[in-house]
Amino acid sequence: MKTELSFAALPAIETELLAVLAVDTQTSKAPDAKPEPVLLTTDEAVKSAAAAALASGEFKAAANETLLLHAPAGLAAKRLLIVGLGKQAKATVHTVRNAAGTAVRFAKPRTIRNLVFALPEAEFLPPGPCISASVEGGIIGDLDPDTYRSDRKDLSIHSFTVAAPETSDHEALKAAFAEGVIIGESQNFTRALVNEPGNKLTPTILGHRAAAMAQEVGLRWNVYSTDKLHDLKMGAFWSVSQGSEEPPALIVLRYEPEGVTEGPVLGLVGKGITFDTGGISIKPSEKMELMKYDMAGGAAMLGAMRAIALLKPKVRVIGIVCAAENMPDGKAQKPGDVQTAMPITPDKPGKTIEIINTDAEGRLVLADGITYARQLGATHLIDAATLTGACVVALGITNAGAFSNNDEAYAKFTAALETSGEKFWRLPLGDEYAEQIKSDIADIKNTGGRHGGAITAAEFLKVFAEDTPWIHLDIAGLAWLEDSKPYIAKGPSGVAVRSILEWARSY
């Protein structure tokens, strides 16, 4: 999709579809109070073209509500689409992002290939963040998951233009627009990876895709396999890999900005299980096909690293993705086995892990990934994984889970969410939960029982982070959308890319 920024007057823009935003300014809570939709534009011609429709009461300006007007009088555009942001008090940069996606999703099935999205004009919506969010939303809204359909029709938007007022600061908005393109395309890079079936995206192929991306954007990279895992004594990671015919991939990306030799080194660690059967503790067959998305945490790290490379923050970043298949053949690990994780230093033994459930494999690969990030010099850690169904039970599909051993690091993440608009909820850690993963035969065990499953999984990872400031993101509930939303297709969401990026930029 071609993306452009325009400062032309809205009435003069020739396009198949011009989209403008509206809010409901009604503040009364009376039961009979009627919505009062108002367009977020100062252009009198656009207001005049929409006046009769708004006065009719048909359009209430609810969030992502749409109203289409054909041949709007006084405008060069063939159609005028009004998209609601909801109540004015709740209208934010993030609702603008969704509205842009809604406009694109509205146009696609109607074979509208070119559209212009008018930047909202309102004091409560800052133009710079809104222009970035607008193009992000447009790019995100354009992606569909039907990659392998033989009768697939190209319904993609050919051009998406954001129209800003002529009075705006052109250079600042151009910079914000360019940033939004990078972020939107990086999120879609992640979504495209997560969408791939397990036979089309093995650990090896994921390594190839990561390497190609790294070369394109200027990251240093290495992709290792079985021999490297053995050299590093990554017994936890290898234990997950050993039951598959497909070899594992240890993907390492490095972003080293010119002139930055001191300060923090951020370690981004992602779970990259390209297909998860559960191993010997095999999953039920229902919806097992979705276990291709068990690498969404690793894909989020790759998307974040892509955006970091292009946006060039002044901080060193290491990205690590531990990719494997979890399969139940004769070589697979068994419940009751004891594995030895990677030691942090050669003179210090690795932690021993009793395997209670082979389907708790994500924490095993992350354990060695976290240790390796520390060994490579990471001073601050963040990991992402579709780790536990327990987190989905606890938080549903509205918030993802977050954990941390460091309030300062987590405060930066909280601030990052203000920019990203993504929803994470911090869950507790504590000695009582750590007791649940103590093993009688080894140092720890890989599950802690039914109660507090997302928390005991985080406690497991905390063992390997030790005192290094660390954040764990359990994205199991949000990484895959079961149903389409007005602004994004069903399937992979790309959740966490924006938040990880903003957290990294905060350093």
Mean pLDDT in residue range 24-44: 94
Report helix, strand and coil shares of the chain as percent, to nearest 5.
Answer: 40, 20, 40
pLDDT score at 133: 98
Per the CB < 8 A criterion, the answer to whether 318 and 222 are in contact is: no
pLDDT score at 48: 98
pLDDT score at 153: 85
Domain ranges of the chain: 2-168, 196-505
Q: At what angle do helices 362-375 and 453-465 cross, to 10 degrees?
A: 20
Per the CB < 8 A criterion, the answer to whether 166 and 283 are in contact is: no
Task: Give the H/E segment covering residue 69.
Answer: strand 66-70
| pLDDT per residue as tens digits for the range 271-302 | 999 999 999 999 999 999 999 999 999 999 99
CATH number of 196-505: 3.40.630.10
| pLDDT per residue as tens digits for the range 179-215 | 999 999 999 999 999 999 999 999 999 999 999 999 9
Among 283, 423, 426, 505, the active-site one is 283
Handedness of CA 399, 184, 10, 13 (dihedral sign): negative
Catalytic residue list contains 283? yes
Among 105, 233, 254, 363, the active-site one is 363
Options 3.90.1200.10, 3.40.220.10, 3.40.50.300, 3.40.50.10380; CATH of 2-168: 3.40.220.10
Catalytic residue list contains 363? yes
Is the pLDDT assigned to residue 507 strictly greater than 90? yes
Which is more confident, 155 or 438?
438
SS3 track for 428-479: CCCHHHHHCCECCCCCEECCCCCCCHHHHHHHHHHHHHCCCCEEEEECCCCC
Burial 39-49 (b: 16+ CB within 10 A, else e): bbbebebbeeb
| pLDDT per residue as tens digits for the range 85-96 | 999 999 999 999
Per the CB < 8 A criterion, the answer to whether 234 and 372 are in contact is: yes
Q: Which stretches within 203-360 are classed as H helix? A: 203-217, 226-231, 235-241, 296-311
Percent with pLDDT over 70 in the chain = 100
**How far apart are the C-alpha atoms of 58 and 271, rounded to whole Å?**
48
The pLDDT confidence band at residue 31, using thresholds 50, 70 and 90, is confident
Is the pLDDT assigned to residue 481 strictly greater than 90? yes
What is the Cβ-side half-sphere exposure of residue 142, based on CA atoms within 13 angstroms? 25
Give me the chain's average pLDDT, please. 97
Mean pLDDT in residue range 343-359: 94
In this prediction the pTM is 0.97
Backbone φ, ψ for residue 380 (5° rounding): -140, 140
pLDDT score at 347: 84
Of 100, 268, 84, the C-alpha closest to 180 is: 100
Same CATH fold, 196-505 and 2-168? Answer: no
**How far apart are the C-alpha atoms of 471 and 120, rounded to whole Å?**
35
